[in-house]
Structures are given as structure tokens and as C-alpha cells.
Structure 1
Amino acid sequence: MVSLLLAVFLLNVVIHLINTLGAATINELLWVLYNKLPTPTAKDAQNSARLKKEVVRLKREMNAVSAQDEFARWAKLRRTHDKAVADYEKSSSSVQDTKAKFDKTANVLRWLGTNGMRYLLQFWFSRQALFWLPQGWVPG
């Protein structure tokens, strides 16, 4: 059995690490790891990333073409870019909704695992001393 003092110390170290790194950073890391697993949202997130790359590529290509000199090519690129942007926004909105739910769940689990656990330990062991001084160490 882990001593109460060690459990409280480790819990406070974990809370300090989370506060130092930041909750948003940890959520982002967990989101990336979650999307590496074979989950239903992983495919949507990969598709959204692919569409974003396509939008950026088309935008660069469109900026490289002169709208006045090569209007037909520029207009075709513009239509393709607009279609890709619409597809990306539709895909991105569903991924962002899923990510918002994921962040909310991660925040609740983080709170329960850190502060909730601290409150539970304080309640459960409220009458037990963490450490004590042996008799005779303090004069008096």
C-alpha cells in the first residue's frame, strides 16, 4: 500500500505538471493521439487535414497566376479553390464539433483525476496524520 504522504506528493506533482504544461497543450496532444487510434473521427480528421492542404495548394497556385494575363486559368483555379474551401469548411466544422466534445470530456476527466482525487483524499483521510514527530524530538 502506498503511504498517504507519497500519494499526496505524487498527486501534487501531477497537478503542478498539468498547470505548468497547460491544459490546452495536453488536450491537443491527447487529440492527436486519439486520432492516431482507429476511431471514427480519425478518418474525418485526416480528411479535413488533406482538404486543408489542398486549399492552401490551390491558393498558392492561384496567387502565382495573373488574373489579367491568364484569366481562364485563374477563373478555373478560383472555382476549384472555392469548391475545396466549401468542402473543407463542411468537414472542418464536424471535426471541430467532435474536438469540442473531446476537450470537454478531457477537462472533466482531468479535473476528476487531479482536483477531485485531492478532495477525495482530504475527505477520506481527514482524521489521519500525514506525518508526525516522535516523542522527545521537540523540547517541552
Structure 2
Amino acid sequence: MSLLFTIFALVFVTQLIAWIGQSVLLELVYALYLRIFHSATAARQRKLKSDILTLKAELLRTSAQDQFAKWAKLRRSVDKGLADLEKLNGEISSRKNGFSLRFKSVIWVLTTGLQFVVGWWYRKSAVFYLPPGWLGPFGWWLSLPFAPAGSVSVGVWQMACKRVLKVGERVVKELSAARVAEAEPTETAKEKEPPVESAS
């Protein structure tokens, strides 16, 4: 029975990642990674942005004609700050690209790769046995490719779990869409009602 739940858990985690979205997970994990391992860089970036905004606000308040020296100095400071920020953003971006590649590799290994390994390792094992004659002459295909006759193989169980989760996802989406559709007509009907004219 543990094989049955292990395979279901692997398929469920894979589908959960697909539902949430790998890019959303990447952004969340990368933000956490930055806070833990590169907090000084993130703080420096925030400080640079804040300083640039302050300098830009001061630059806008300074007249280029009346206070040219001050305006030119502020302009050079803003340009230098922008150049530093661009360089820092480039470093953070290249670091994020490397992190993204490692993150996607780990996600693939923990989901798809692990499913392949489990499927190959237990290829001759039965996940569970069906009652004799339950599906008649068609029961043999559930044990494909290498499981004992009369059983459900790992590959078939993985496909069944994935199919059930996908059907469940579709049902939930349809139910939520139906709820939204039920709520909308009452609101739009009120908006479309013609104004009631009072009889005089």
C-alpha cells in the first residue's frame, strides 16, 4: 500500500506545481533566497532606488536656469546613481538566471525524474491486485508492461492518478466558473433595468 500512496503523492506534487505555475514558485523561492543569502545586495538595491528617487525629486524642484551649478551636480548624481543601479540590476539578473536554471533542474528531478525512477525501479511490482475476473478479458492491460497478471502496474497507476487529478481540476474550474456566472447576471440585470418613471 505504501507504493500506491507514494506514487499518488509524486503525481499530486507534480500536478500541484503545474497548477501553481513554475514561474510563480520561482519568484517566491528566489525572493526568499535573496533575503537569506544576499540580503546586503537587496538592501543596497533598495537604498540606491530610494536615493535616486530623492535626488530626482530634488532635481525637479531645482531650476536649471537660476541654480545651474546645483542642478548640474544633482544631474550628475542622478546619472551616477542610475548607472550604479543598472550595474547592480545586471548582477542580480545574471544571478537570477543561474538560480532559475538550478531551480528548474531541482523541480524536474523531484517530480518527473523521480516518477521515472520509481516507475523503472518498481516496473515488475504490482501496486495492488484486482479481484479475479473483475474486468474479464480486458484486465490484462492494467498490468502492462511488466507487472504480474491480474494486478495494476506502476505506469498504469501513475496514469490513473494523473487523469483523476486533471478531471478534478477541470471540475473545480467549471464549478467556480458557474458560481461566477450565477453571481454576474443578477448584478448586470440591475444595471440594465430601465429607470422607473413616476406617473404624474
Pairwise same-fold verdict (TM > 0.5): yes
Cα deviation per residue 1:18-77 (whole Å; 9 max; x = unaligned)?
Answer: 11111111111111111222x2x3312221232123223433443455545655444333
- Structure-2 residue corresponding to 1:12: 11
Cα deviation per residue 1:82-116 (whole Å; 9 max; x = unaligned)?
Answer: 11101111222112211111111111111111111
Identity %: 36
Query: Which range moves more in the overlay, 46-55 or 7-16?
Result: 46-55
Give TM-score, length-normalised by structure 1.
Answer: 0.81
Give the partner amino acid of 1:88: L
Mapped partners of 1:82, 1:127: distance in 2: 67
Structure 1: give runs of 5+ residues left out of the alignment: none
Alignment of 1:124 onto 2:121: yes
Alpha-carbon distance change, 8 to 63 in structure 1, aligned in 2, over 3 angstroms: farther
**Structure with higher RCO (Cα < 8 A, 6+ apart):** 1
Mapping of residues 61-100 of structure 1, within 5 Å: 61-65=58-62, 67=64, 71-100=68-97
- Structure-1 residue corresponding to 2:131: 134
- Structure-2 residue corresponding to 1:103: 100
> For the aligned residues, what is the CA RMSD?
2.3
SS, match of residue 128 in structure 2: coil
Give the partner amino acid of 2:45: S
Mapped partners of 2:117, 2:42: distance in 1: 37
Give the partner amino acid of 1:129: A
- Structure-2 residue corresponding to 1:29: 28
What is the number of equivalent residue pairs in this alignment?
A: 137
